[in-house]
């Protein structure tokens, strides 16, 4: 067991934290407003003068590549009346509000506002778009609603090195597609389910044909919470639901706190990466961007995605059942298994530390 995991609590956080709007408000302010989150990929930008809308923990964001080639981030909110400015990727050199035509440069400055010259005391310099922090790791774009955030590298920590050491070259990946989904459960329940495979033998029969859950390794380092299950010994004999030959001997599944999932399944080089964020105490939105390397045929991709989607649908049903039970008010808290569910304890401690 990783030394960083030795002293986590075996008592869960209070179940009231899954249903209390005041807790959710604190999480949005103290966690999601202040952390780096996956926002998309560099392929969403079409050269200088382009931009795309995204979100960071539910806060609407624009990522822009200005005419000088500098990456910039702004809240996707007009300074006039709060309208969402952008709802699809564009390349036009300026950002214009669809409500009253306030127009902004890609640097966020207010360029023009109809009739503002007749308005006493109107100061364009004070009404630019609110900035957010933006940075990249390989092809991945991250944003942080805090404009004064510490560098992305501080949050990533050793994740890039760990990913590479376990067989994935992120710079060789090519974007394939995005899948969005919703879960009728608190965001923390969804993350906690991801962080343990105690439930896998009973609930994920196809997954158990691919990985050896009982031999998997857990790690926690900084804001990284990771699982490394080796390939099941019999999987290479054709018993797996898709072809996992020519792959690395160990899968890797990471959470980057608070809620970025980073999944590498056995087989040909592949990645699904995406954020989760709360929209209500019992509602979570999310997406995955899927990446593969050049030369991976579409038949293999389709088979792997069928497997991946099946595991995801099984997890959604489990997570929503936890919300109904734990969120009912019948019990105050639960009890973790210190070794098997050690990453849940580490995650819950990260949440506690930020809400203390």
Which single residue is written with the structure tokens 């949050």?
Answer: 155
Single out the residue of 195, 228, 241 nearest to residue 336, CA to CA: 195
Half-sphere exposure of 211 (CA within 13 A, CB side): 25
Percent of the chain with pLDDT over 70: 98
| Residue 117 CB contacts under 8 Å (≥ 6 apart), including other chains | none
Ordered structural domains, the chain, with CATH: 3-32+153-355 (3.90.380.10), 38-148 (2.102.10.10)
Backbone angles phi, psi at 301, to 5 degrees: -60, -45
Confidence of residue 247 (pLDDT cuts 50, 70, 90): confident
Q: Which pLDDT belongs to residue 5? A: 53
DSSP state of 230: B
Q: Which pLDDT belongs to residue 24? A: 98
Distance CA 163, CA 149 (A): 24
Which single residue is written with the structure tokens 């306030």?
Answer: 102
Contact (CB, 8 A) for 221 and 241: no
Distance CA 290, CA 308 (A): 11
pTM > 0.85: yes
Distance CA 198, CA 297 (A): 33
Q: Which pLDDT belongs to residue 316? A: 97
Q: Encode pLDDT of 295-339 as tens digits.
A: 999 999 999 999 999 999 999 999 999 999 999 999 999 999 988
Confidence of residue 2 (pLDDT cuts 50, 70, 90): very low
In this prediction, residues 267-279 reach a mean pLDDT of: 97
Count Cβ atoms within 10 A of the Cβ of residue 128 and give its class: 0-12 exposed, 13-18 middle, 19 or more buried: middle
CA dihedral 326, 327, 331, 337 (to 10 degrees): 30
Per the structure block, which two tokens stand in for 273? 């990466």
| Residue 8 CB contacts under 8 Å (≥ 6 apart), including other chains | 336, 338, 342, 345, 346, 348, 349
CA dihedral 207, 213, 216, 218 (to 10 degrees): 90
Worst-scoring range by mean pLDDT, 8-12, 66-70, 128-132, 201-205? 8-12
Single out the residue of 82, 70, 74 nearest to residue 143, CA to CA: 74
Contact (CB, 8 A) for 281 and 19: yes
């Amino acid at each position: 067991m990783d030394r960083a995991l030795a002293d986590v609590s075996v008592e869960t956080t209070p179940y009231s934290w899954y249903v209390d709007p005041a807790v959710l408000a604190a999480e949005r302010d103290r966690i999601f407003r202040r952390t780096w989150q996956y926002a998309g990929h560099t392929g969403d930008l079409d050269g200088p003068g382009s931009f795309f809308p995204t979100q960071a923990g539910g806060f609407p964001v624009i990522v822009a590549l200005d005419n000088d080639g500098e990456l910039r981030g702004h809240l996707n909110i007009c300074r006039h009346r709060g309208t969402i400015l952008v709802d699809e990727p564009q390349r036009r050199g300026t950002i214009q509000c669809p409500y009253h035509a306030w127009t902004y440069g890609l640097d966020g400055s207010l360029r023009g506002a109809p009739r503002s010259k007749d308005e006493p005391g109107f100061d364009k310099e004070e009404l630019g778009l609110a900035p957010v922090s933006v940075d990249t790791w390989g092809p991945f774009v991250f944003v942080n609603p805090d404009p004064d955030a510490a560098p992305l590298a501080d949050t990533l920590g050793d994740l890039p090195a760990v990913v590479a050491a376990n067989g994935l070259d992120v710079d060789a990946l090519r974007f394939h597609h995005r899948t969005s989904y919703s879960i009728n459960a608190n965001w923390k329940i969804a993350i906690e389910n991801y962080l343990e495979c105690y439930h896998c033998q009973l609930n994920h029969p196809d997954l158990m044909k691919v990985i050896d859950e009982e031999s998997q390794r857990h790690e926690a380092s900084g804001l990284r919470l990771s699982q490394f299950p080796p390939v099941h010994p019999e999987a290479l004999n054709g018993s797996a639901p898709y072809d996992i030959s020519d792959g690395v001997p160990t899968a890797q599944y990471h959470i980057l706190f608070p809620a970025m999932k980073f999944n590498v399944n056995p087989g040909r080089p592949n990645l699904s990466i995406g954020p989760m964020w709360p929209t209500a105490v019992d509602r979570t939105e999310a997406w995955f961007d899927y990446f593969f390397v050049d030369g991976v045929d579409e038949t293999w991709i389709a088979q792997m995605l069928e497997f991946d989607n099946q595991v995801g649908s099984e997890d959604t049903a489990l997570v929503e059942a936890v919300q109904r039970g734990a969120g009912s008010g019948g019990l105050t808290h639960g009890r973790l298994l210190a070794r098997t569910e050690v990453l849940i304890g580490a995650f819950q401690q990260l949440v506690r530390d930020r809400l203390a």
